[in-house]
């Protein structure tokens, strides 16, 4: 057996064991968020740490690291002859490259730096909680400076450095895309969305929302959750749902994809869009081709790709007139007091109001992008500005940008710069949320050129939509970087144009512009 | 550091790691029984097997085995000086002995025998399922003979052999007690219960049960579950509940004890007594003294001790007039249609009807003991009879005993000898179920001599009862064998008399004998 074949076998054997530990950790984490009692959490956390450490140690074995390096150095020789088929060879090359990217990122980080990082992030989290609670940015400021210092250092130590430190960090989340791409994209967004928002705000259109806070029971919401997941094509033989404070999706195993949601007694629609969003993530995972299972490249999918799917179902499908029409009768049946005297059109419009607001996670589909642009502009400056950044001046900058783009100003930092947890452990993640919307707008148009999506939604034919997604969007997501991936799906280069056109048309119609 | 101290440290370090793996396995198993989707089970099972194997390997390390042997051989030297206190020394001696018992049981079993055993039990399970489904004992008979052969061989290979092979096997579940004890005990039961059952059957007393199958919702049953656990003193900060087909209790960790129940739409009381039973097991675990946590002797508690607690709460408390009186108003509120026109006394009597029946798990408190006696008599004969046992004659023997003791005869083997899963993996377990009733009857009387239990129940003062249980019944259960334990609690030797007196009084009153 050649050294290349041997190395590949060793890497896969290790990754198979790592996956065992990871699955156990996934179950422990799901358990902690769904049912574990308060005083059981500490021990559960200790078991999780114990197992994670076992997995970590496996990946620090010199023989494993050497094998990873060897297959990367000889990835050109991973051909059909060596790997048994051309398809397998492609997977193996892909694996070699992604393992190498991870190594490049961590290789020059010493154990001391690792320890320092871990302490700094934990401290930042604690300070952030405290700062948010007391609405006082100055409590968090020293930690933010510390996180900045560590992140810049790590960007500079990365062996796979990009043009700027921010580009290096961002590449860790959405590889191949650069801050130039983001600048172009977000500038185009601002050019078109700022004036459009002004027109919407000036519109005389009245949208009825009085019925949205009418009370509903958990039982009815649970039935609704089941109905929506079934409607979307979620496979209950290979998945389950539960409730948690913050909804999420987790892949316990290839045949066990779980979603969670929450039930608010006076916001029945919060569950609806949470579960459609998470259901979208789940469909992505449930529809991975079986042959991908054994190749250990699942971590190659980017967050932008994943968000594109969840937002495709949540917004493009879920908030469409046709989907609202499809679920309106069931909603009337489940929530009779909410829908008393409420027409289908009133339900549709209420789910598509545009309201500039301060909190990202509660933003509507239209204004959401502004929240991301603001965070992107500030975090890029923090990372690339280095020592020259005046951390204490950031809250004002944040508030000024909200004023400029959305016409509103946070009354305190808790609803301003302190609202998100992300910066307690790094930078570069936020743009992936917005990119998801832009990717899906592009592939929505491609799909629409092939069949009548609206009609499929109207008649609940999700099989048609999911099959197209499986074949075009999901099948190669773990083997391609986002730019290549979107071009292969649509035949076009990445652009925010489709997304902006969509917003213009949809909200132009709703607000009668 | 002395070799003894070193050995003890090594053993405890290993057991701490084993506990980590075991906790992960406990969570995986709980997950599989509560939420894991059908097609996710296989992978989950594989992860469980992977982790169990890691724990198994740790306990096969020669250094660990040697250390266990060393502390056992030198257990006399485990004194306050060596172990830092007399209490710690007692725990450590106890640990040395219990590890030694486990070794004695498995020491002479070769890997081949282990493999053969595992295959035979799996096959027996499959054949049992098939036999039960087709109501045909002959399908299971060869497997039963195989299990018999293996169990007898293992009893003979056990280095800690007792008077008969059955005694050796039974000692693995309820140590110190012998088949002589069981014979004495069960003979006394038969002498008093057989004639008493005849008098009950001849009684003219009419008990109303028509309302028991009235429909209830899952939602109301869930509220009832929560109410009952709260009433009993279950600590929700250190436990949780869920639903499963078969109710059980699991210790995920010291501060995480979970119970499950089931909701039948036409048997509201099934949930009630399931959750009180499991809640009893949970109270036992939740009330272990904190200082016991770090001594790794939790597996010392016997099943008889545990069943004594669960049945104490289920039967002695749960089916008492005072408890029914306590929960009657809440039940009326939660299940208004069930309790329409039903008095408190009718509720009490309906929960205490005596009806000879074929299925052990559905038997009432009175007839339950007969089901155990029948199984005990047959399994003792199977084990001690060796080659002389005619396996094919067992179904008739089973049916004859049901005829003799309960006056009814199974119409087929599925509701006869094939009903329980236990014999697919061994013998000696059944008597522990009955012993639990006898232990708790003894300590109930001791408790009653110290305070008015009925009044405490009537007013929901479970704190008083649980505190007594904690101090007298639970605190030393993991350091004492059952006979010593019950004598230390009550000051008396083990006897079924208290249990039989209780049955005679209670059912004499209900059936107006």
ipTM: 0.91
* Cα distance between residue A279 and residue A277, in whole Å: 5
Q: Which residue has the tokens 């293996």?
A: B150
- Residue A219: its chain B contacts at CB < 8 A? 219
Burial of A198 (0-12, 13-18, 19+ CB in 10 A): exposed
Half-sphere exposure for A20 (CA within 13 Å, toward CB): 19
Is the predicted pLDDT of residue A106 greater than 90, yes or no? no
Half-sphere exposure for A406 (CA within 13 Å, toward CB): 27
Predicted pLDDT of residue A111: 85
* Cα distance between residue A50 and residue A44, in whole Å: 10
CB contact under 8 A, B255 and A37: yes
Predicted pLDDT of residue B235: 98
pLDDT band at B294 (very low <50, low <70, confident <90, very high): confident
- Whether A16 contacts A8, CB under 8 Å: no
Structure tokens at A424: 């307690």
Predicted pLDDT of residue A414: 96
CB contact under 8 A, A20 and B47: yes
Looking at the partner chain, which of B36, B219, B237 has a beta carbon nearest the beta carbon of A256?
B36
Give how far Cα A46 sits from Cα of A215, B90, B492, Å: 40, 28, 44
**Which element (helix H / strand E) includes B451?**
none
Looking at the partner chain, which of A24, A35, A240 has a beta carbon nearest the beta carbon of B51?
A24
Kindly state whether B255 is in contact with chain A, defined as any CB-CB distance less than 8 angstroms: yes
Which of A10, A196, A206 is closest to A96 using CA atoms?
Answer: A10
Nearest chain B CA: its distance from A235 CA (Å): 9
Is the predicted pLDDT of residue A1 greater than 80, yes or no? no
Looking at the partner chain, which of B47, B50, B256 has a beta carbon nearest the beta carbon of A40?
B256
Please give the residue of chain A at the shortest CA–CA distance from B242. A35
Q: How many CB atoms lie within 10 A of CB A160?
A: 15
- Residue B24: its chain A contacts at CB < 8 A? 24, 28, 47, 51
Interface of A with B in 46-75 (CB under 8 A): 46-47, 50-51
Nearest chain A CA: its distance from B242 CA (Å): 9
Dump pLDDT digits (tens) for B197-228: 999 999 999 999 999 999 999 999 999 999 99
Is the predicted pLDDT of residue A212 greater than 90, yes or no? yes
Kindly state whether A35 is in contact with chain B, defined as any CB-CB distance less than 8 angstroms: yes
* Cα distance between residue B278 and residue B314, in whole Å: 8
- Residue B42: its chain A contacts at CB < 8 A? 255
Interface of A with B in 197-236 (CB under 8 A): 219, 236
Dump pLDDT digits (tens) for A268-309: 999 999 999 999 999 999 999 988 888 999 889 999 999 999
Distance, C-alpha A358 to centroid of its chain: 20
* Cα distance between residue B126 and residue A126, in whole Å: 54
Is the predicted pLDDT of residue A472 greater than 80, yes or no? yes
Please give the residue of chain A at the shortest CA–CA distance from B47. A20
Which of A327, A197, A326, A230 is closest to A269 using CA atoms?
Answer: A327
Give percent of chain B with pLDDT exceeding 70. Answer: 100
Is the predicted pLDDT of residue B272 greater than 90, yes or no? yes
Predicted pLDDT of residue A293: 87
Dump pLDDT digits (tens) for A39-58: 999 999 999 999 999 999 99
Find the mean pLDDT for residues B136-153.
Answer: 97
β partners of residue A261: A243
Looking at the partner chain, which of B39, B239, B254 has a beta carbon nearest the beta carbon of A255?
B39
Q: Which of A16, A25, A26, A37 has the most B C-beta neighbours within 10 Å, making it the best mutation to test the interface with B?
A: A37
> If you average pLDDT over every residue of chain B, what do you get?
96
In this structure, are strands A249-253 and B239-243 parallel, antiparallel, or unpaired? unpaired
Nearest chain A CA: its distance from B225 CA (Å): 16
Q: How many CB atoms lie within 10 A of CB A415?
A: 15
Q: Angle at the Cα of A180 (from A178 to A184), degrees rounded to 5?
A: 125
Q: Which of B17, B20, B57, B241 has the most A C-beta neighbours within 10 Å, making it the best mutation to test the interface with A?
A: B20
Predicted pLDDT of residue B106: 87
A vs B, Cβ pairs < 8 A, gives 109
pLDDT band at A206 (very low <50, low <70, confident <90, very high): very high
Nearest chain A CA: its distance from B170 CA (Å): 34
* Cα distance between residue A308 and residue A439, in whole Å: 6
Kindly state whether A290 is in contact with chain B, defined as any CB-CB distance less than 8 angstroms: no
Q: Which of B19, B24, B55 has the most A C-beta neighbours within 10 Å, making it the best mutation to test the interface with A?
A: B24
Dump pLDDT digits (tens) for A401-446: 999 999 999 999 999 999 999 999 999 999 999 999 999 999 999 9
CB contact under 8 A, A47 and B24: yes
Kindly state whether A420 is in contact with chain B, defined as any CB-CB distance less than 8 angstroms: no
Residues near B123 by beta carbon (within 8 Å), at least 6 away in sequence: B143, B146
Which of B477, B506, B373, B379 is closest to B435 using CA atoms?
Answer: B373
Q: Which residue has the tokens 């499986």?
A: A470
Is the predicted pLDDT of residue B6 greater than 80, yes or no? yes
| Annotation says A61 is catalytic | no
Looking at the partner chain, which of A40, A46, A238 has a beta carbon nearest the beta carbon of B40?
A238
């Amino acid at each position: 057996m050649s050294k290349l074949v041997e190395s590949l076998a060793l890497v896969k054997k290790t990754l198979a064991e790592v996956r065992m530990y990871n699955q156990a950790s996934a179950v422990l984490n799901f358990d902690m968020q769904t049912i574990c009692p308060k005083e059981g959490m500490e021990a559960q956390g200790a078991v999780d740490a114990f197992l994670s450490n076992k997995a970590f140690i496996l990946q620090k074995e010199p023989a494993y690291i050497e094998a990873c390096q060897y297959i990367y150095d000889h990835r050109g020789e991973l051909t059909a002859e060596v790997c048994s088929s051309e398809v397998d060879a492609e997977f193996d090359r892909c694996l070699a490259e992604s393992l190498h990217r991870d190594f490049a990122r961590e290789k020059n980080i010493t154990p001391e730096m690792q320890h320092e990082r871990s302490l700094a992030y934990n401290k930042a989290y604690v300070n952030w909680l405290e700062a948010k609670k007391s609405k006082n940015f100055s409590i968090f400021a020293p930690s933010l400076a510390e996180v900045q210092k560590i992140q810049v250092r790590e960007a500079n130590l990365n062996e796979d450095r990009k043009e700027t430190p921010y580009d290096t960090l961002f590449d860790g989340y959405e590889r191949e895309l650069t801050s130039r791409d983001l600048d172009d994209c977000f500038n185009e967004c601002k050019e078109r969305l700022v004036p459009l928002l002004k027109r919407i705000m000036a519109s005389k259109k009245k949208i009825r929302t009085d019925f949205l806070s009418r009370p509903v029971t958990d039982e009815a919401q649970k039935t609704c959750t089941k109905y929506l997941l079934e409607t979307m094509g979620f496979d209950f033989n290979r998945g389950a749902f539960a409730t948690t404070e913050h909804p999420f999706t987790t892949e316990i195993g290839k045949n066990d994809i779980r979603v969670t949601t929450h039930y608010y007694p006076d916001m029945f629609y919060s569950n609806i869009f949470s579960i459609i969003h998470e259901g979208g993530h789940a469909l992505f995972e449930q529809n991975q081709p079986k042959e991908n299972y054994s190749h250990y490249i699942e971590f190659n999918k980017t967050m932008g790709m994943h968000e594109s799917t969840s937002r495709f179902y949540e917004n493009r499908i879920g908030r469409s007139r046709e989907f609202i029409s499809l679920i309106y009768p069931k909603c009337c049946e489940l929530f009779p007091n909410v829908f008393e005297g409420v027409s289908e059109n009133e339900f549709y419009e209420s789910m598509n109001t545009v309201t500039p607001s301060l909190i990202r996670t509660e933003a509507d589909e239209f204004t959401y992008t502004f929240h991301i642009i603001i965070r992107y502009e500030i975090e890029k400056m923090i990372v690339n500005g280095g020592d020259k950044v005046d951390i204490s001046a950031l809250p004002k900058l944040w508030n000024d940008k909200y004023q400029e783009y959305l016409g509103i100003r946070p009354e305190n930092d808790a609803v301003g710069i302190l609202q998100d947890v992300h910066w307690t452990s790094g930078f570069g993640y936020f743009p992936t949320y917005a990119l998801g919307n832009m990717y899906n707008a592009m592939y929505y148009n491609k799909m629409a050129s092939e069949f009548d999506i609206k009609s499929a939604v109207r008649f609940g034919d999700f099989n048609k939509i999911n099959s197209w997604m499986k074949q075009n969007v999901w099948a190669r997501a773990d083997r391609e970087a986002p730019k290549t991936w979107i071009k292969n799906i649509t035949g076009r280069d990445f652009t925010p144009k489709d997304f902006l056109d969509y917003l213009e048309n949809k909200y132009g119609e709703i607000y009668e512009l």
